[in-house]
Amino acid sequence: MLVDNAVEGDSRVQKAARSAADAGWDVTLIGCAHVDAERRWRLGDAEVRVLPLAAPRATPPTVSGLRDVSGLRARLVARGGLPLRAARLARRPVEHAEVRYWQARLGDGAWRRLEPGLWDYERVAGPVVDALRSDLIHAHDFRMLGVAARAVQRARADGRDVKLVWDAHEWLPGARPRRDNARWLPAHLGYVREYVGHADAVVTVSDTLADLLVRDHALPDRPTVVLNAPVTAALEPTASEPTAPEPADLPAPDLRKRCGLSPDTPLLVYSGAMAVQRGVDTVVEALPLLPGVHLALVVADPAAAYVRRVVVRAARHGVGDRVHMLPYVPHRQLVAFLATADIGLIPLHHWPNHEIALITKFFEYAHARLPIVVSDVRTMAETVRATGQGEVFRARDAADLARAVRAVLADPTRYRAAYEGEDSPLPGWTWEAQAEHLDALYRRLLTPTR
């Protein structure tokens, strides 16, 4: 398996590797990240190797004959003559010209000029993948697709039949660019288009995204859907999470106790990555309308810049004493950790990728038996209305969010009842159920045919 990160923060990748190893596959999970040296550990029976990437490239290529404004921009910003955002806007015409020029010359291959840093993943991971001589390569997300495709090509040229599975975690055309430049998205779209045809099978996270991938890439077969559901079965202890806040085999901590709250204090929880488009600011703005209600934010880095801005915003609204910042716990502990809250929050803004899937925290809240208050992003709002497991509010509307929270707090038993009985969706919302789809796909690809 291949992934473009340091592994320990990616629960989908960890679950896929461990469950495949539990099913009898010999699994090596290779991550690529900006670490000082290679890191190795075991995730159950799967071996994990995180390879060090070089530092990011400082200067992107420019079109011959077009003026490079990057140096000018830096000087202006340093002298105070141009605000940072204005500097970014000033370089956009040049970036758009670069995109048009290289796309005209190289088509989908323009990524080689627009995003040459993608070669770093090939340089670091390619030789390691070749040395493993795998029968199947599972590439997670979009950056590792090309690395896997080229490794498969080399193996087949050497007479070995290697299969490639691409796991599409998100809809790339609807993704928020990860860097503030005009080259990022068209470069990565071209990169995926160049290599997607090499995949023997595609896996993704939702039915809606499966349909979009078929449409965008004319896939001959519909992708296998593997939901980002949590692990619910007890696992054998392992020393596989070297950076976890506490050993994963210990009982989960109590969220409410870590916040220092009594059992009768209303507690909302948001768990996961924080960014403007994830809507936590809307929750902070709603707290003054919810006297006595507390908010727990379970985040990767409580000291991160955006998290600090949320804390400052809470103080400005006079609710700083009701907002609690907590670090991640190992993903195997998370459901039990969340269970002492009263409501799980998903306050996403409208963004294409927010509309098309049930995200990981949705399933984690559900298995914690938490009523869910979600913004009106399409798929999750439709699911909550159908199951009755929570309330829906208008995205970015703090007053409507407060209304939804009050409705749940007034009758929580009504919403928790959605998780009980024969109609409960929870049995299908487990990683154990989803891993069976993945195992069946591997076996189908590697079963010899006459």
User: How many residues in total does the chain contain?
Assistant: 450
Give tens-digit pLDDT for 291-313: 999 999 999 899 899 999 999 99
* Range with the poorest average pLDDT among 168-177, 339-348, 377-386: 168-177
> Which pTM was predicted?
0.84
Q: What is the pLDDT of residue 237?
A: 47
CA angle 179, 208, 172 (to 5 degrees): 15
Give tens-digit pLDDT for 80-89: 454 545 575 5
Residues of the chain with CATH 3.40.50.2000: 2-56+117-168+200-229+436-446, 255-425
Task: Identify the helix (H) or strand (E) that includes residue 281.
Answer: helix 280-286
Q: What is the pLDDT of residue 92?
A: 77
Q: Which of 298, 427, 283, 293 shows the shortest CA–CA distance to 367? A: 427
Provide, rounded to the nearest whole percent, the portion of the chain with pLDDT above 90: 80
* Range with the poorest average pLDDT among 29-38, 87-96, 141-150, 371-380: 87-96
Averaged pLDDT for residues 96-119? 96
For the domain made up of 255-425, give the CATH fold. Rossmann fold (3.40.50)
Whether 133 and 160 have beta carbons less than 8 Å apart is answered as yes
Give tens-digit pLDDT for 234-279: 644 444 444 443 455 578 899 999 999 999 999 999 999 899 999 9
Band (175; pLDDT cuts 50, 70, 90) = confident
Q: What is the pLDDT of residue 84?
A: 45
Q: What is the pLDDT of residue 181?
A: 87
CATH architecture observed for domain 2-56+117-168+200-229+436-446: 3-Layer(aba) Sandwich (3.40)
Give tens-digit pLDDT for 20-57: 999 999 999 999 999 999 999 999 999 999 999 976 55
Q: Are strands 201-204 and 163-168 parallel, antiparallel or unpaired?
A: parallel
